[in-house]
Structures are given as structure tokens and as C-alpha cells.
Structure 1
Amino acid sequence: MEISDFSLPPLFLFFSMFFSIYIIGYFVVFRNWSPKTRPEASSCFISLAHGTPALCLAANSLLADSNRSFASPNTKQQNLVLEYSIAYFLMDLVHYIIFFPDDVLFIAHHLATLFVSLTCRYLVYHGAYAILVLLILAEITSACQNAWTLASARKNDVAFAAKLYGLLSPPFYTLYSIVRGLVGPYFVYQMCVFYGSGAAESTIPKWVWVSWIVVVVAAISASILWVSHLWVDLYRQRNRKLEKKTR
């Protein structure tokens, strides 16, 4: 046997990488943060390591595939991106199970996302185009969202964090609303039209693509509800500030 035969699977290597980043975040980068905020900050740390790189890798893998379609076979590069994303969600799922076991919504989100990615990568070997476009749409707001989340965690303790939180909120909410409220639903509509036509019957079983649609629609609906609450909260905060100034 050659030495290359003993190489570790990419999924294991990616998981080890995210685990190491999480440990560095928890015990080094955020060591002076409170026990309440350190886990959340460490989760943001691995999300930063996943989000923008995954977006770039996914976009590159799709552009390199001249035969991409909703039912096209996954390329090696696309499978690698799927494994990179799977490793991140597995690591973040472990984080939530350990530190926030009562956060059923996020745990369910991660499990559903893993189901979609795992079935695409290891069961049907087709459809990475759809899954990776959805990944791009999900991660295009990742960097801004993580910076906003970190600022939110310290806004009551650090003046700069409070200022950054205030500056980031409107543009982040706007971008998030456009992506999750307009672009995302339009792309899912295209998925429904394609898969509903039966064009993928020979490559992707009906129960698989139907489950993908259900998961994505549920995720987008939850995202729209979440950002709607943020907009309402921002509106209330602005009104309180105006009331204080007019008194």
C-alpha cells in the first residue's frame, strides 16, 4: 500500500480544524469574556472560519462546473465543499448540545441542514448545485451577522461594542431581509418548478427533494420571522430615543 492510502478523510480533517478553532476561541481569544458569553463568541469564531470561505469555495466549485443544474452529478470539488460545511455544522451542533441543550430551534436547524447536506453528498450524489447556491445565500450575510452577534454580546459592557451594534444593525437587517425574504424564496421556487416537473426522477428520489424543499422553506420562514422581530425591536428602540430627546 502507498502512504496516500492512509490519508484521513476530508470530513475528519475539517471537523478537527473547526474543533481546534473553537478551542482556540474559547480558551485564548475570548478567555476574558464572561462564562455566559464565551461559548456564543466561540461559536461565532468557527462560523467566521466557515461562512466566507464556504461561500467562496461553493461559488468557485459551481463556476468550474459547466454542466451544473438542479439534477447534475456532484463534482469532486462540490463534494469537498459539502464536507467542509458538514464538518462545521457538526461542530456547532456539539457546541449547542453541550452549552445550549434547550435551544431546540437551533439544534433542529443544524440537524435539518446536516440532513440535506449528508443526503446530497453521501446518498444521491446529485443536486449539489441547489444545495451550494442555498449555502451561498445563507453565508453571504455570515461575516456581518457574526460581527453583529459579537457586538450584541458585549454591548452592555463595552461602549465600542454598543456603538458597533448600532451601526451594524440597519445594514445587516436590510441585507438579511433581501437575501432571506426575496432572493431565497425565488430560488426555492425555481427548485420546486424543476423537481416538480419530474426532471430529476432518475437521479434524485422524490422523497429526497421533497424533504429538501420542506427543510429549506421552514428555514427561510424562521429566518424571515427572526429578522422581522429584529426590525420591530429596532423600531421600538429608535422611538424610545426620540421620546427621550423630545422630553
Structure 2
Amino acid sequence: MDMAIITDNLVLFGSICLFTAVYFYGYFFLFSKLWKGRSRYEAASCGMSLTHGTAVAALCCYEIFSKEWVLDAPNTPLQNKIMEYSMAYFIVDLLNLAFTAPDDYLFIIHHIGTLSYMISCRYFIQHGAISVMCCIAGGEITSPVQNIWTLSKMAQDSSQKAKQLFLSISPFFTVYFTIVRAGFGPYLTWALGRFYLGGHADHIMPRWLACCWLFKLVFAILASMLWVTHLWVALFKFYSWRMPQGSVQEKID
């Protein structure tokens, strides 16, 4: 491989090695005694997601709030490195899904869509990275809480502490996830759609690519809405089940 390619993409290749190491550490050591089979793969994936989401959400928020919101601006070196770091995570996790959960079509499509969005911005048009920063921030700012919630949910049957953590964090996570995905997500999609579909970026990218970006955003928002609905339904069912029978009868009467 050309050394210039490796040098220009050092963060990408280095991060692929990092996430692979984190995944195998979680699978062979951290979660080996807790889960078997598919649950063990999912737990290892959560370890990668925590490593990725926590760092990248902070970096993207810094980029969003420290710079003017110019959607057709050239990518900065830091923005390119953030995208490379994030692309590495999606590449490794996509391989994980392909081997361990090939029937999880929604997540596979999500990963492919997100990865292609970043690749086109980083390598094809080399502009508009602030839109990627916003999308990553909106998607990953919930990552720390989401992965803790997921791991505690998986472990609740075998650990009382995990069960208590899951029960205590579920209401907060549901509200937090709803605010970010059902609040910020649609607004971001509207703002980016108005700019890119309005022709304001035609000098840096073909219109068909702008349509592809917006299609992926809309798909992500719809998928998020489905999960938000699922979270609230599950939460209401849980508290209805826990409610004393007398209280239920009083509400019915």
C-alpha cells in the first residue's frame, strides 16, 4: 500500500486497530463470564460504542460550538480526523454485524448509510463536514447512557445491581433519547434539507448527492422515531405491570 495513503489516513487505520482491540478485549475478557453467544457479541459491540460515542460526541460538540455554522465550508483537518475516527468504528461494527447478526437489517442499513455519508464528505467533496459533526453529535450524545442502559438490561437477570441500575436509568434514558432524537433530529434534518436541497451547495456537490444525504437523514429519523415509540410503550407497560391491582382498579373505576 502507498505510504502516502497510510499517512493521510493514519487516524482511520489506527482507529480500526483500536476498535478491533476494544472489541476483542470485551469479547474474550471483560464479558466472557457474563454472556455467551449473541449476547456476548452485543456486549463487546457496546464496549466499542462507548469508546467511540463518548469521545466523538465531545469533539463534534466542540466543532459545532467553536465555529461558525457554515454548511458548505471546506473540511478542517480536525473534522477530517473526527470523521476518520468515526468511520473506523462503523467499519469494525459493520463487520461485527455481518458475522454475528446478519438478520439485523435496520442496524446494518444504518451503518452503511452513515458510513457512506462520511466517506462522501471526507473523500469526495471535502466540504460540508459541519453537517456531519451535527449528525454525529445528535446520534452519539446519547451513546454513554444508551450503552450503560443496554448492558444493564442484558445483565438484569443475572445481577441484582444491574437490574436496579436498569430500572433507575430507564425513565431518564427514555426522556433523554426522546428529546435528542425526536427534538433535535427533525430540526437538523429540516435545516440541512433547506440548505442542500435549496441549491446553496451546488457549487461543491452534485444535487443527487445532496438528495442522498437527506434521504439517509430522513431514514435515520424515522428509525429513531420507531425506537422512541418502542421505548415509551415498554416504559408504560412496565409501570402498569408494577402498579398495585387496587390502584389499577381505581383508575378503571
TM over 0.5: yes
Residues 1:42 and 2:44 aligned together: yes
**What SS does structure 2 have at the residue aligned with 1:222?**
helix
Question: Which amino acid is 2:74 matched to?
Answer: P
Q: Which residue of 1 aligns with 2:63?
A: 61
Offset, 1:237? 1.3
Residue 205 of structure 2 is aligned to residue 215 of structure 1: no
- Determine the structure 2 residue equivalent to 1:163: 164
- Aligned-partner Cα distance in 1 for 2:115–2:19: 16
1:192 Cα offset (Å): 1.2
User: Which amino acid in the other structure matches residue 24 of structure 2?
Assistant: I
Residues 62 and 78 in structure 1, CA contact (< 8 A), matched pair in contact too: no
Residue number in structure 2 paired with 1:121: 122
| Cα displacement string for residues 190-247 of structure 1 (whole angstroms, at most 9, x for unaligned residues) | 1111112211100021111111111011111111111211111111111111145759
- Deviation digits for residues 129-174 of structure 1, max 9, x if unmatched? 0111110011111000000000011111211111111111111110
Q: Which residue of 1 is the match for residue 190 of structure 2?
A: 189
Alignment of 1:70-149 (within 5 A): 70-149=71-150
Aligned to 1:240: 241
**TM-score (norm: length of structure 2):** 0.91
Kindly tell me: are residues 128 and 6 of structure 1, through their superposed partners in 2, closer, same or farther at Cα, counting changes over 3 Å?
A: closer
With over 3 angstroms needed to count, the CA separation of the structure-2 counterparts of 1:6 and 1:229, relative to structure 1, is closer
Say which SS state the counterpart of residue 243 (structure 2) adopts. Answer: helix
Give CA-to-partner distance per residue, 1:50-99, whole Å, 9 cap, x none: 00100122223344545x41111101110000000000000111111111
Identity of aligned residues (%): 36
Distance in 1 of aligned mates of 2:55 and 2:109: 24
Give the number of equivalent residue pairs. 244
Structure 1: gaps (5+ residues): none
The 1:6/1:12 distance shift into structure 2, 3 A limit, reads closer
Report the RMSD for the aligned CA atoms in angstroms: 1.9
Equivalent residues of 1:15, 1:91 under 8 A apart: yes
Separation in structure 2 between the aligned mates of residue 32 and residue 142 of structure 1, nearest angstrom: 24
